[in-house]
Each structure stands twice: as C-alpha cells, then as structure tokens.
Structure 1
Amino acid sequence: MAGATAPRAAAGHARLDSLTGLRFWAALAVVLYHLSRQAGQLPWISDVTWYGRSGVTFFFVLSGFVLAWTYDGKVVPAIVFFWRRFARIWPLLAASVLASVAVWYALGTDFSLRGTAATLGLVNAWVPDHAYLSGGNPAAWSLSDEAWFYLIFPLLLAMPLMRSARGRMVIVVAVCAASLAAWLSGALITDSLVRVWALDYFPPTRTLQFVLGVAAGLAVKRGWRPAGGLRVAVLAVLAWHLALIPWSHAVPDSLWYSPYSASQLLSAPIFALLVAAAAAADIEGRRTTLAGPAMVRLGQWSFAWYLFHEIVLRALAGVYGKPVGRIETAGFWAATLLLSLAVAAIAYHCVEHPLERLLRRRGPGGSVRSRAAHAVTQEPGAYPPGAHTHSSSQRQATEKKSVQ
C-alpha cells in the first residue's frame, strides 16, 4: 500500500461521487455473472464475467471504507447507528423477498418458509443449508453478512491498531494472509456445499474484506493516497479478471483450487486499491467519468438492481423458457438488463429512498434537527449500495453530536 500522503484536511471537503458510480459497475458484474450462469453464455462477455460474483467482494470492501469514512471521529449512540443501518437495508430487502416469493409462487416453484424467515431476520448466511442461503431472495444472503459487519463495526473502529498508519499496515498484511489461508483451507473441506458456504457465505470469512475496507477508509481519511491513481487501479482489476479466464478453462468450478472462491477471497486488496483511488480522485478535485450525473444515478439504483435482477431473470425464464442460440440469448440478456434496471429505478424511488427517510425521521435520533439535516444530506449507505457518498464534514456540520 505504498503511496503518497496528503494533508488530512483535504479529506474533509469532498463528495465521493465516484464511489457511487463504481457501485453500478460492481452490480453489473454480478448481473452478468447470473445471466451467464442461468441464461446462457455470450462470447467474450461471459468469459470476463464468469466470476462476476466478485462484485459482492467489492461491495463488502466498499461498505467498510464508507462506514469508516463517515463515522471516524464521531460519537453516535449505538441505537442510532444500528437503526440507520436497519433503515438503509431492511425495507428494500423485505420488498425484494416479497417479490421473489410471489414469482416462485406464480411459477409453481417450492420455496422454504424457514429460509425466507431467516433471510428477513438477516441470519440466513450463518446456516450451511441451500434452503437458507437462497431462501426468500437468493441475492439477499449478502445482507446477512452486512448485518454482522454492522454489529462489529464500532469495535473495529475502536481498535488501537486502526488508529495509526503502522497499525493499519499490520491489519492489511494480516487480512491478506488470512484471506489466502482461508482459500487454501478449501483443500481440507471435502463436502462441496460446506466448502462453498464456509468460503463464500460465512460472515466471519467475509469479514476479512470488510476489515480491509475499514483500514483503507481510515488511511485515506488521514491523508494516504495509493500510488498510481485510478487508472492503474482499474487496470489492475481488469487484469485480475482476465487472468481468471485461462484458469477457469483449466480447472472446473467444483474443485477447491478453481477460480470460483479465489476470485472472491483474493480480489479484496485490488478492490480496496480501486476504492481508495476513486475516493482520492474526488478528494483532490479530479474529474472522473464515475462521478458524472448519469453514473451517480445508476449507482443509486445499484442496491435495488442487485436485489431484483435475479427475480426478473427467473420470471422471464419461467415464462419464456431458457433461450437457445446466440441471438436468442443476446435478446434475453438485453430484455433482462433493461427490465431489471427499470424495476430497480422504481424500487429506489418508490420504496428504498422514501422508506429510509421515513424510518430515520421516526426512529432513534430522528429529532427535528436531524430531520433538517437529512433534507440536506444522507450518510453513505452500507451495503453495496450506500445511497449516497457525501463527505464527513457535511454531516459533522449538520449533526449536534458527531460510532468511534
């Protein structure tokens, strides 16, 4: 993580809109991953996005980064912090689960009531059972991990090692080593379901990525800048995913040393570099295409797109069947992309955004003063998708008290 340092004060006057734009591309990688796996492959695109589920790893890193950026140096009552996180993710989760169950019911597909309840309770990722991991809404397992991250975040922020550059470097090295060890441990797990659960779903395993994001967020907040800038970080991400192509052709996904788990466990450092570089560009006032109005809007829809795209894909496949042939597959892809993105836009404007605002106003910390503050700005969100990524100084100016 060698790089330049800049005055900490510079970090206090930036809107991190490039991070919102990045969220769209991460969500798109996940969408294309599901299309390739469930609706047929397209040349080149499917090769690059065959392991696009790594977009979830990006979101976990981003979540830690944004929360660290937002809450560093602030004192917020625990009940207020947890309520904000609930308001951020649960209303849209509930709406997506309702839509998913409705589609399953309409198609005559069995679904698990226990798994659905576990999903709504944000605990389904803790159980190595397919009925739980895909219950309610298959995409929603990651929110179970996010809920765990929220619980431990105040403790992470208070760790002495997080307070110094040397301590954060120790954490980064330890996290990278632990991620490699976790992937190698797959050789010891013979049950494929247990292996996939332990490496790809289990919240403590995924915590490594969140911790890396927290460390990167604090480093950037205190003036660290990654060497090479945003262009180098983007090229590193592309090079990593291109390197997975020959690997995937040589090793079946069912084997522990395939790129399937490696693409998710080993990509976190590259994504941390990307997030830090994009944030640095915004802090330093450098214009990026990621921060344009259209990209920011697409990024705001990305949480809903992530939660609803597989439901739309499943509904179209159930009604029209799985496409056959390259032209039909391309048409199915296009229809799924456009329709799911339209559903995501509606869900954001009609469910996610208004219900988050309503719950924040009515819940703990929802005083008249905080309502006025909310009208001006929102804190960055949590899961993948935070709604907005504004600077901490804006929030500090509108809150009387500023989770350390």
Structure 2
Amino acid sequence: MRRTTRPDHRPVVAGPSGRDRLPSLTGLRFWAALVVVLYHLSRQVGEVPWVSAATWYGRSGVTFFFVLSGFVLAWTYDGRRVPVKVFLWRRFARIWPLLAVTTALSVVAYAVLGTEVSVRAVAATLLLANAWLPDPVLLRGGNPAAWSLGDEAWFYLLFPLLTAVPWMRSARGRLGVAVAVCAALPAVWLCGAVIADPVVRSWALGYFPVTRTPQFLLGVVAGLAVARGWRPPLRPGAAVALVAAWHLALVPWSQAVPEALWYGPYQASQLLSAPLFALLVAAAAHADLHGRRTGLAGPRSIRLGHWSFAWYLVHEIVIRLWTGAHGRPVGLVATAQVWLLVIAASLALSAAAYHWVEHPLERRLRGAGPRPAPAAADLGAARSGAGRGAATGAG
C-alpha cells in the first residue's frame, strides 16, 4: 500500500481501488453489518449459545454506521469546496435506489405472508421520513431496516452546516466538541428516566434523528481530526478489543436488569458505544493512511464490505419470509441450520443487489446530476471514492 500527498501535504492512502481509499473501514462495514444480522437472528429465529449472548445488543452496529458515516464524509470532503446541491445529490444517489428496491421487496414479502401493509408507512419510508414520529407502523411498515436511512438523510442535511462551524477548524475546538458530545451521550440516555411510555422511550432514544445526531457528529469530529494529522491513542487491535469488551460487559448487565427498564442495557448499548466506535474507526483509518496492516483490508473483506449496505437492508426480509413460512425452529441444531441458511441466502441476495442495483444506479444518478467545478473536483479526487460508502449499513 503506498501513500500519496494531497495539495495541503496531508497523506492520502492509495488503496486497492478508487472506491476504497480507506480499505480497513470498508472491511469494518461487513463486521458491523454481521453483528446486526446476528442480533436479528437471535431475537427473531432463536438463540445460539455464546454467539447470541455476545450479539444480543448487536443493534449497536447501527451506531457504528452513524459514526462511520460522519467520519468518512468529513475525511472525504475536508478541504473541498463542493456545492451543497452536488453533495446532497451524491448522497441521494448513494442510498435511495437501493432503498426503493428493497422497500418494494419488503412489501412483496409482506404480501406473500398475508400481512397488511400501510401505504402511509411505505410512503414515509421512501420519503426518508419514517423515523420522525413515535409510530411503530411508520418505523416498520415499509422496510423495517430503513428507519436508519431517515436518520442518515437528516445527517446529510446537517453536514454542510457542521463543517462550517468555527469550532471545527481548530484542534482545540474539535476537542471541545468531542468532549461535549461524549458528555451528551450519557445525558441523552439518562433522559429515558423521565419518559414513562416504553414505546415513546424506545423511539426517542433509538430512532429519533435528533437523538442520534451526536453519534454522527462524533464521527465528523474524528474524521476531521485524522484528516488534519491527529494520531488516535489506540492501535486498531486494541480498539477492537475495547469494543468487544464493552459488548461482553453488556451480558451480565442484561442478566441483572430487564430491558424494559430505562436503565437496562438496550438503549445504553446504542448510545454509550459511540466513543468506542469513533476510536476504532479513527485507529483503522490512521493505520491505512500510514501503510500499516490491520487484517481488515484484504480483497475478500473489501468485497464483503461492499455488500454490507445491501445486506443490512435485505437480511431482515429473508428472516421474515422464513419465520413466516416455517415458524421458529426448535432445538439448537435446527436453529443453527436456519441461521446458516439465512446468512447464505441474504448475503447472496446482497451481492446481486450491489452489483446489479446499488452500484450501477448510483453511477448513473451521479453522472446525471449536478457536478462541482473542476478545481473542487481535482482537489478531492484522491479521496472522493471513500465518500460513496458512508451510508448506514454501508459504512
């Protein structure tokens, strides 16, 4: 892996392709998607000892993607003058085509199972507005996984404003923002104590775009810091160990405190993990930039990372079709077999979706939309590919 230099003299890694300038982050996307898949398998199909205990709160993988999204966008667009309309069009091209196709697939799955589908919920999903109200029908009525893309759309609208904040331009200012965000995350979690309705509490802490914004903001701060020379305090291996230790610590917590209580580990697993994920992403990116091996940047890891966005959006549909047709399996062997079948089928479907829908439609839409001035395009050419992977489920 070799390094080149940007016009501002900061190193830019020359990765395997123009799309993967930070290849370890592409590899991490797959592992984050995997823990989300295992989370849904454990809760909707059946538990597998040890694996289910470790991934029982794997929905925190969505938090990882929110942090990763902010990091990649900040790292990609730092120092570039790209018109807001160009930026937003690129983000639309990145997430919406696959959202539309998988939502249609989800509606077909509901129809096959004889489940009524709300037209209002499908419309809210396609308009990226389904996470703004505490309505379970809106959140799950189109494609249940797509709520996070509504949050991402909100982040994309905020991103040009966040990068224009004066505090983001200095190391001291970014440190202040990071400290404020890290303090805000447990404060948000503690707010669950005053929300009596469990449905509203779940939405307010787990889905509401405003509540999720600090996670994205922390990623933006980390991305700008790394782009401007900050060296994370941990190597990637140590950061992975820290994230794993956090999730293992949730196991005894879950045994001691029911999830229904506000101080249970469910919401904490999503809110309090953001600083750990920011350290992990920053450490992996810094290693890539300086040519160090991470074990996450091989061709197979990158390929799986490319499929991760589609996998995130389709795996629950496959689970729903199987359990709707056959019910939950009985016994460990049968459960493990269904797990393997669902993983293999959904991953194969994700590969097809990436190669035949996601990637080609993104390229066509980007080519058909507005473009930046040549100078702005040249300034960020070495890093523009990284920004195309910043969607939820895709990193």
TM over 0.5: yes
Matched, 1:275 2:281: yes
Residue aligning to 1:401: none
Question: How far off its partner does 1:225 sit?
Answer: 1.1
Matched, 1:339 2:340: no
Of stretches 60-69 and 105-114 in structure 1, the one that deviates more from structure 2 is 105-114
Give, as a single letter, the amino acid of the residue that structure 2 aligns with 1:10.
P
- For 1:263 and 1:130, the matched residues in 2 are separated by 21
Question: How far off its partner does 1:228 sit?
Answer: 2.6
Residue aligning to 1:308: 314
Residue aligning to 2:177: 171
Q: How does 1:344-383 map to 2 (within 5 A)?
A: 344-365=350-371, 379-381=385-387
Q: Unmatched 5+ residue regions in structure 1? A: 1-6, 390-404
Residue aligning to 1:33: 39
Residue aligning to 1:140: 146
CA shift in 2, pair 1:287/1:11, >3 Å: same
- For 2:225 and 2:377, the matched residues in 1 are separated by 31
CA shift in 2, pair 1:383/1:293, >3 Å: closer
Within the candidate set 202, 208, 215, 2:208 is matched to: 202
CA shift in 2, pair 1:382/1:207, >3 Å: farther
Within the candidate set 235, 245, 254, 2:260 is matched to: 254
Question: How far off its partner does 1:375 sit?
Answer: 11
Give, as a single letter, the amino acid of the residue that structure 2 aligns with 1:9.
R
* Structure 1 contact 183–265 (Cα < 8 Å) conserved: yes
Residue aligning to 2:11: 10
* Structure 1 contact 8–221 (Cα < 8 Å) conserved: no
CA shift in 2, pair 1:52/1:384, >3 Å: farther
How many residue pairs align between the two structures? 383
TM-score (norm 2): 0.92
* Structure 2 contact 29–393 (Cα < 8 Å) conserved: no
CA shift in 2, pair 1:320/1:369, >3 Å: farther
3-state SS in 2 of match to 1:33: helix
* Structure 1 contact 87–355 (Cα < 8 Å) conserved: yes
Give, as a single letter, the amino acid of the residue that structure 1 aligns with 2:120.
R
* Structure 1 contact 308–344 (Cα < 8 Å) conserved: yes
Within the candidate set 154, 157, 167, 1:151 is matched to: 157
Residue aligning to 2:132: 126
Within the candidate set 290, 299, 306, 1:293 is matched to: 299
> Which runs of at least 4 in structure 1 moved beyond 3 Å after TM superposition?
11-14, 366-378, 381-389
Question: How far off its partner does 1:10 sit?
Answer: 2.2
Q: How does 1:319-334 map to 2 (within 5 A)?
A: 319-334=325-340
TM-score (norm 1): 0.90
* Structure 1 contact 54–264 (Cα < 8 Å) conserved: yes
* Structure 2 contact 46–329 (Cα < 8 Å) conserved: yes
* Structure 2 contact 33–393 (Cα < 8 Å) conserved: no
CA shift in 2, pair 1:223/1:212, >3 Å: same
- For 2:345 and 2:168, the matched residues in 1 are separated by 43
Residue aligning to 1:212: 218
Identical counterparts, % of pairs: 63
Give, as a single letter, the amino acid of the residue that structure 2 aligns with 1:61.
V
Q: Unmatched 5+ residue regions in structure 2? A: 1-7, 16-20
- For 2:206 and 2:158, the matched residues in 1 are separated by 19
Of stretches 341-350 and 356-365 in structure 1, the one that deviates more from structure 2 is 356-365
Within the candidate set 3, 23, 26, 2:29 is matched to: 23
State the Cα deviation string for residues 81-119 of structure 1 (Å, max 9, x = none): 111000000000000000000000011011211111000
* Structure 1 contact 381–388 (Cα < 8 Å) conserved: no
Q: How does 1:379-390 map to 2 (within 5 A)?
A: 379-381=385-387, 385=391
Residue aligning to 1:94: 100
